[in-house]
Every structure is written in C-alpha cells, then in structure tokens.
Amino acid sequence: MSEASSRTLRLYQPRAVEVAVAAGRPIQVDDVDVVQIREEWVVEDGWWTADPIRRRYFEVVLIDGRDLTVFWKLDEPEAGSWFAQRA
Amino acid sequence: MIACVLTPFLGLRAALGKEQKRLREAVALAPQHDEAQVLGEVSPTAHELGVRPGMSLSEALDVCPRLGLVPPDPGRAAEIHERILRRLEDVGAGVESERDGEAFFDPAGLIRLHGSLEGVLEAVAGKLGPATLVVAAPTRLAALSLARQASRAESPTLRILPPEEAGFLAGQPIQALNDRLPGPEAEVRRLLTSMIRLGLKQLGDLAALPADAVADRFGPNGVLARDLALGREGPIRPRQPHEQFREWLDLPEASTGSHLRGGLIILCDRLAGRLRASGTSARSLSIEARLTGGGSWSKHSSPRWPTASPTILRLLLLPALDQLPRPAETLGLRVIESAPSEADQLEVIHRPEQTRRKRLNEAARQVQATVGDRSLMRVLEVEPESRLPERRMLLTPYFSE
C-alpha cells in the first residue's frame, strides 16, 4: 500500500472571510464596502447523506474593483460563517 | 510428487471477515451482479443440506430456505492468497497458482533441506498455520482431490498419497474435473454432465475409454480430461517472484460516476509512474474496490502487450467502472503479472508531436529527479460540472505519459 491519497489537493477550497450583513445581504467583505451584488443563488447538495451541504452564494463587486464570490451556510446562520470562494 | 496447498473456503472466509463463526451456519457466497446468478462457495452445513456451488439462487433457496447469502469480497480473498504464496516462496518453493485458495509446488528441491517429503510438508504447514492444508500426491489433480477430502475430515492432517496408489484417482468422481478444464465454466459443466449421463461416473471410467473415442465424442477438452484422469499432466510452472505493485485511493465519500473516474485516472498515473521507475510494465492487472455497505469488487484486465503507459491503462480500465455494483469507499489497482519494460524502438516514421511530447516528458522527469516528486503538479478535472467549486478539480503529482 502506498502513501497515496495524501498527495492530492483540492482546488478552490473555501476560505473564511469577515462579512458585515444588512437584511441578510453582504455590505462589507473584510472591511471593504460592497458596491453591487451581481448575482445570488442557492446550492443544495448531498441531501441524501448524513452531511448535507446548503449554501447561499453572492457574487459581489467591492469598492476597490474586485469581483468576489462569497457564501454562508444556510445551516449555520450565525455571524462568522462566511466564506469566499472562486466559483 | 506434487504438493498442494489448499485454503478451504477462502472466498467465504474472506467475505465473512470478523464473523468467522457463521461458517458453521448454512451460508453461501452470493453471486457478483455482473456474473452468472449462481452461488459461489457453500459452507459445510449448507452442503449437508443439499446446497451446491454453481446452483441458481432460486434453486438453492428452495432447497434450503434459511440459507444466508454473503456478499463476496474477492479483493480480500486475493490479498490473503497472495500472502500465502509469498510465505511459500519464502520457504523456497517455486509456486504455481491459477486460482485463489489453491497452490502447487514441486517439493523435490526442498527435500534435502528438510530431510524428507514429510519434513517439507510439515515445514510448509508450520509456516502457513491451521487454516491451510498441505498434501502431496503424484499429480496436481490427485493432490487437489486428496486435499479436498482432507478438508472435509474432522481433524485434517498432513497426507501423502504414495505413487503406487494409482487407483485413488480412478475412484474420484467426474466432478473432480470441474474447474480443471479450460473454457467457460458453463461449457465445462455441460461436458461433465454429458459424461455422467453416458455412465462415466468416475475418472477411472473415463481413463478406460480409448483416446480416439473420447476425442470423437467430447472433442479436445474430452481428451484433456482423459489425460488428467490418467495422471498425465505437465510439469509445475512456477510463477516468477516479483515486486508487488499496488496503488490505493481512499475516496472522500461514497463515490460513483465522474468522481470515481477521476480517482482511477490518478491511480493509473501513479501506477504507471511506479512501473516506469522500476523498469517494469504490467502484463495483467486488476482493478479493485471496497464497496459501501461491505464487500468488494474486482475485475481482471490484460493489455494486448505489457505496458507502463498511463493512457493505455486508463483506456483499458475506465470501462470496467461501469460494472461497479455499488458506490465505492476505496479504489485500487494491483499488478498481477509484470514484465520487463518495453525496449526503446527505433523511429521509422517521423512524428514531430510524439517527439516533442517525449522531450517534454524527459524534461519533467529530470525536474522531478532534481527537485522532487511534488515539484510538478497537474490539475485534474474530476467533477467539472459540480455546483460545489471545491469538487471540480484536484491538484495531483505530475507523472509523465
């Protein structure tokens, strides 16, 4: 048996970010203002497993010109559970 | 003399795992979903109740309604068998084995070391433990029949059949040839059934017939069966001891479809890398999977010629995934038979693209040799259509093609 499986890495892993929210929508990401929400969608997957995934995604434009995709987990609605991810 | 090492009920024991006590109940190996829907090995209790290997499911349940079906675990059985073969080779035996659970060797070369034939058999039995039986007889068929008889005895012991007991083979039932003849299992069974219908109950009956009559009525397999009944067999052809090439991948969650294909591509790349590094190629290999909910699945494949090319391995193995009966927890590749790596061929036709690729691979190989395996990585699309971005791509070590 080889050392095998540990040598592969997943790309596009989510990373935790600080997001300020108003009325359920992001208004700041890591203290940078959001100027536009371009798109919004929900992803539900693995609902047939013990560990289902439910996320609400937002594609936002920041004031410094960056286009960013962030999401929060619908099952963990408390603050601090926002993530940024290349999508 | 030929020594036979038999591991009775290997398939059942491997499939039962920690529940070995169930071997005393009426249980049988369930068929694999992509094979004929007939029973595999049956436990002694089930055998007493009239259940036989090769019986159809409906017939078996009719004969014995409380029969328990155990999902087969061919991967584990092959693993245990390989361990037995390696132990035999450690003792110095040149082992021939075509089926899991059975191995043959010529004990002549070991007699000087252990003093006598009994000494050789005792040394081997001591090395392998009580789950196996070691017997010796003048031919493979006689040794196997003797071992099978011994496995049914209350207290199996070492047994040696002296050459003068030629009548032993003649007294064996025709069914002893069941898995000894080449060709599809169903065809062999049909041949033996027709022999029995014609009144040939024992091997002695077949051996007594003239060769031309047997050839006329039963064809080439009939002649071969008669030769076996007469004790005419070729010499032992020991396998070449080789380095074991195995690659396994733990799948993150019960996987099917494109995820599984991605995993197999990674395994092909890794295996090809290891084969090339050791100057070897695969002549025959098996793809194995441990399934969710217990049991395993395996499929043997052989390329047209020995290869260490990841592309050919993928082409060969990817279609086999369609036959996987359930989602898998782990996926693996194992080289069953290896061969020396193919020699470099001189170029007759100029193919610039291949030449460029060859040079690129050589460059990659040199970079890896200098900086390490992880210096070059490859992005592999595993689930490109997944709605979860982290599932779409993997970063895996780069192996040259």
Are B29 and B41 contacting, i.e. CB atoms less than 8 angstroms apart?
yes
Which residue in chain A has the smallest CA separation from B330?
A5
Q: What contacts B119, CB < 8 A, 6 or more positions away?
A: B111
Q: Which residue has the higher pLDDT, B350 or B128?
A: B128
Position B148 confidence tier, pLDDT thresholds 50, 70, 90: confident
pLDDT at B242 over 90: no
Find out whether A28 and A62 touch, Cβ atoms under 8 Å.
Answer: no
Considering chain A, what percentage of its residues have pLDDT values greater than 90?
Answer: 52
Q: Distances from the Cα of B304 to the Cαs of A59, B121, B301, B308, B315, in angstroms? A: 51, 39, 10, 12, 12
Whether the pLDDT of residue B302 is over 90: the answer is no
Q: Is the pLDDT of residue B14 over 80?
A: yes
Please provide residue B14's backbone torsions phi and psi, each rounded to the nearest 5 degrees.
-65, -40
- How far is the C-alpha of B332 from the C-alpha of B395, rounded, in Å? 19
Q: Judge whether B396 is closer than 8 Å to chain A, CB to CB.
A: yes
The answer, yes or no, to whether residue B40 has pLDDT greater than 60, is: yes
Q: pLDDT digit string (tens) for B346-373?
A: 566 777 888 888 888 888 888 887 887 7
Phi, psi of A39 (to 5 degrees): -155, 160
Average per-residue pLDDT for chain B: 85
- Provide DSSP, B366-400: HHHHHH-GGGSEEEEES-TT-SSGGGTEEEEE---
Which comes out higher in pLDDT, residue B83 or B158?
B83
Tell me which residues of chain B, numbers 317 to 376, contact chain A at a CB-CB cutoff of 8 Å. 373-374
Question: Is residue B22 over pLDDT 80?
Answer: yes
The yes-or-no verdict on residue B283 having pLDDT over 90 is no
Place of tokens 């693993």: B79
Question: A23 vs A20, A27, B165, CA distance in Å?
Answer: 10, 9, 94
pLDDT of residue A39: 93
d(CA B104, CA B88): 10
Helix (H, G, I), strand (E, B) or coil at B220: helix
- Is pTM beyond 0.90? Reply is no
pLDDT at A29: 93
Higher pLDDT among residues B293 and A62, named by residue: A62
b/e burial code for range B125-156 (CB count within 10 A of at least 16 → b): beebeeebbbbbbbbbbbbbbbbbebbeeeeb
The C-alpha atoms of residue B390 and residue A14 are separated, in whole angstroms, by 7
pLDDT tens per residue, range B81-121: 988 998 888 888 889 988 888 999 998 888 888 888 888 88
A73 and A54 Cβ atoms separated by less than 8 Å: yes
Residues of chain A found within 8 Å of residue B389, distances taken between Cβ atoms: 12, 85-87
Distance separating alpha carbons of residues B338 and B349, to the nearest angstrom: 29
Q: Are strands B377-381 and A82-84 parallel, antiparallel or unpaired?
A: unpaired
Q: How far, in whole angstroms, is CA B339 from its chain's centroid?
A: 18
Q: How confident is the model at residue B401 (pLDDT cuts 50, 70, 90)?
A: low
Instruction: Look at B237 and B243; give whichever has higher pLDDT.
Output: B237
pLDDT value, residue A4: 41
Is a pLDDT exceeding 80 seen at residue B34? no
* Nearest by CB: A11 against B249, B387, B393: B393
What secondary structure letter does DSSP report for B130?
T
- Range of lowest pLDDT (A76-80, B32-36, B81-85, B250-254): A76-80
Q: How far is CA B171 from CA B141, B206, B263, B358, in A?
A: 12, 11, 52, 63
Specify the pLDDT at position B197: 92
The tokens for A19 are 């997001």
Q: Which residue, among B300, B301, B98, has the nearest Cα to B181 in the 3D structure?
A: B98
Question: What's the token pair of residue A43?
Answer: 């992803």
Task: Tell me if A45 and B397 make a contact (CB, 8 A cut-off).
Answer: no
A8 and B CB contact within 8 Å: yes
Asked if B128 and B134 count as a contact pair (C-beta separation under 8 A), the reply is yes
Residue among B265, B368, B378, B388 with most chain A CBs within 10 A, to mutate: B388
Pick B394's closest partner by Cβ from A10, A43, A86.
A10
In whole numbers, what is the pLDDT of chain A averaged over residues? 85
Percent share of chain A, pLDDT over 70:
87
More confident residue, A41 or B295: A41
Residue A2 has pLDDT above 50, yes or no: no
Residues of A in contact with B379 (CB under 8 A): 11
Partners of A45 on chain B (C-beta within 8 Å) are: 387-388
Nearest to B398 by CA among B384, B385, B371: B371
Cα angle value B69/B146/B95 (rounded, 5°) = 85
- Residue B390 and residue A87: Cβ atoms within 8 Å? no
Which phi and psi angles does B56 have, rounded to 5°?
A: -70, 155
Please determine, for the modelled complex, whether the ipTM score is greater than 0.85: no
The lowest-confidence range among A77-81, B111-115, B124-128, B256-260 is A77-81
Report whether B391 contacts B382 (CB < 8 A).
Answer: yes
Question: What would the two tokens of residue B48 be?
Answer: 């007493």
pLDDT, average across residues A6-12: 77
pLDDT of B150 > 90? The answer is no
Q: Looking at the predicted structure, is the pLDDT value of residue B170 above 90? A: no
Alpha-carbon span B76 to B89, nearest angstrom? 20
pLDDT of residue B98: 85
Is the model's pLDDT at A5 over the cut of 50? no
Residue B256 pLDDT: 65
What is the structure's pLDDT at A69?
94
Size of interface A-B (CB pairs under 8 A): 55
- Taking an 8 Å cut-off on Cβ atoms, the answer to whether A11 and B395 are in contact is yes
